[in-house]
Structure 1
Amino acid sequence: MSAAYATFGLAPATRAGGVLANGEFQAHRDFVDFIVDGRPLLFRLADLDAVSPLASDVPPAIFTAQVRCLLLEAPAPLPAGRYVIYGCPECRAIECGAVTAVIERDPASPDDYVWRDFAWQTSAHADLAFNGYHGTGPFRFRGAEYRDALARIADAAGVARRRVLLVGDRVAVLARLAAALRTIGIGAEITRDAAEVSADELRTYGAVAFGQGIDTTERALVRAAFERAAAPVAYVDGLAPIVPLLLAQIEHALDTAPAERRRLTQLVTTGGDAGVDITSTCRVRLLSYRLDRLRRTRTHELFDGVLGPGHHRIPLDGRTSRGRSFLVARTTDSVLVASSAR
Structure 2
Amino acid sequence: MSAAHATFGLAPAIRTGGVLPNGAHQLHRDFMDFTVDGRPLLHQLCDLDAVSPLASDIPPAIFTTQVRRLLLEAAPPLPGGRYVLYGCPECESLECGAVTAVIEREGPDVVWRDFAWQTTATTNLERDGYHGIGPFRFDSVQYRTELARLLPDDDQDDGSTAASTLRRRVLLIGSRVAVLARLAAALRTTNIGAEITENADRVPPDEIRTYGAVAFGSRVAAHEKAAVRAAFARAGVEPAYVEGLAPIIPVLVAQIEHALDSTPPHQRRLTMLVAADGEAGVEVTSTCRVQLVAHRQDRLHRTHSHEVFDGLLEPGRHRIPVEGEAARGRCYVVARTMGGVLAAPMLR
User: TM tier, shorter chain?
Assistant: over 0.9
Contact 1:323 1:341 in 2 (8 A): no
Residue matched to 1:34? 34
Give every structure 1 segment of 4 or more consecutive aligned residues whose post-TM-superposition deviation is greater than 6 Å: none
Note the C-alpha offset of 1:100: 0.2
One-letter amino acid matched to 1:144: V
2:156 is matched with which residue?
Answer: none
Q: How large is the RMSD of aligned CA atoms in angstroms?
A: 1.0
Aligned to 1:57, what secondary structure does the other structure show? coil
Give the whole-Å Cα distance in 1 for the aligned partners of 2:97 and 2:212.
31
> SS in structure 2 opposite 1:158?
helix
CA contact 1:260–1:279 (8 Å) conserved in 2: no
8 Å Cα contact 1:320/1:340 also seen in 2: no
1:312-323 aligned at under 5 Å gives the runs: 312-323=318-329
**Equivalence map 1:160-239=2 (5 Å):** 160-239=166-245
Partner of 2:80: 80
Deviation at 1:98, TM superposition (A): 0.0
Q: Offset at 1:319? A: 2.4
2:308 — aligned with what?
302
Alignment of 1:97-112 (within 5 A): 97-106=97-106, 109=107, 111-112=108-109
Aligned partner of residue 201 in structure 2, secondary structure: coil
**What SS does structure 2 have at the residue aligned with 1:67?**
helix
Contact 1:63–1:157 (Cα < 8 Å) also in 2? no
User: Could you tell me how far apart the structure 1 residues matched to 2:310 and 2:180 are?
Assistant: 29
- Whether the aligned pair in 1 keeps the contact of 2:11 and 2:264 (CA below 8 Å) is no
> Could you tell me which amino acid in structure 2 is paired with residue 15 of structure 1?
R
Q: Which runs of 5+ in 2 are unaligned?
A: 153-161
Task: Provide the secondary structure at the position in 2 that maps to 1:73.
Answer: coil
Deviation of 1:260 (Å):
2.4
Q: Which residue of structure 2 lines up, in the alignment, with residue 338 of structure 1? A: 344
Structure of higher RCO (CA pairs closer than 8 Å, 6+ residues apart): 2
Gaps of at least 5 residues in structure 1 are none
* Alignment TM-score, normalising by the size of structure 1: 0.97
In structure 2, what is the Cα distance between the partners aligned to 1:43 and 1:301?
Answer: 24
Map residues 282-297 of structure 1 onto 2, 5 A cutoff.
Answer: 282-297=288-303
Look up the match of 1:132: 129
2: CA distance, partners of 1:38 / 1:318: 42
Which residue pairs with 1:149 in the alignment?
Answer: 146
Identity %: 67
Q: CA deviation at 1:320?
A: 4.1
The size of the alignment, in residue pairs, is 339
The alpha-carbon deviation at position 341 of structure 1 amounts to 3.1
- Cα distance in 1 between the residues matched to 2:132 and 2:245: 44
